[in-house]
Amino acid sequence: MKNMMTMSNNKQQPKPENPNNQFSNTEPLTHAQRVAIANKMSNNLLHSTGTIVYDPFRGEMKRHTKWWCVLDVDREITRYYRWWLRRERHIHLEQPAWDAHISVVRGESACSRLPAIWKKYHKQKIDFTYQHGQIRSAPDKDQPGTFYWIDVECPMLGEIRRELNLPVGFRFHINTFNRV
């Protein structure tokens, strides 16, 4: 008897609409709703960690190999964005010669005046953030093609440059891809 009573009281009630779920109704999204969702998604900061490397091995490159400092980052970041650009925008990109990294010091010989602090952070792990989907591009200045990158936020990299008495204030980025 109890089961019968419970069943009869369990009539299908319409589920209340969840105000946090933007896809709860079945009507198509308006342009304004799509823009709002895209803005929320584009503001998502992703966090990652890299390793500081001084004077990294540059393979066959023979010039400008001294006084370099890079933050080696997870190569899956650049692999993902190369895949995404190929899939979504039909842009085929080559893997960079140095793989995924953020340049901190770029062959700046002024570092030779401070040998006591050069390599101070070697192999240290450094955290950084970047915004998902914020890919920038510009013509490559050295050769035909387009250079693609992702801006990052990392105050520690600016501090390393400051300690070496190098100019500061420019935006760091993950060197990711080249299109020929």
Please answer whether residues 101 and 172 qualify as being in contact, where contact means their C-beta atoms are separated by less than 8 angstroms. Answer: no
Residue 105 lies in a domain: yes
Residue 27 lies in a domain: no
Read off the pLDDT of residues 66-103 as tens digits, 9 standing for 90 and up: 899 999 999 999 888 889 888 988 988 887 777 889 99
Residue 40 lies in a domain: no
Residue 166 lies in a domain: yes
Mean confidence (pLDDT) of the chain: 79
State which residues form the domain around 83: 51-56+75-180
pTM: 0.71
Q: Per the structure, how many domains does the chain have?
A: 1
Read off the pLDDT of residues 40-54 as tens digits, 9 standing for 90 and up: 555 678 999 999 999
Residue 168 lies in a domain: yes
Residue 106 lies in a domain: yes
Q: What is the pLDDT of residue 1?
A: 43
Checking 169-175 for CB contacts under 8 A at 24+ apart, the result is 172/102, 172/103, 172/104, 172/128, 173/102, 173/136, 173/149, 174/73, 174/77, 174/78, 174/100, 174/101, 174/102, 174/130, 174/149, 174/150, 175/96, 175/98, 175/100, 175/101, 175/102, 175/103, 175/149
Q: What is the pLDDT of residue 13?
A: 47
Residue 63 lies in a domain: no
Read off the pLDDT of residues 113-165 as tens digits, 9 standing for 90 and up: 888 999 999 999 999 999 888 889 988 888 788 888 999 999 999 999 999 99
Q: pLDDT band for position 39 (50/70/90)?
A: low
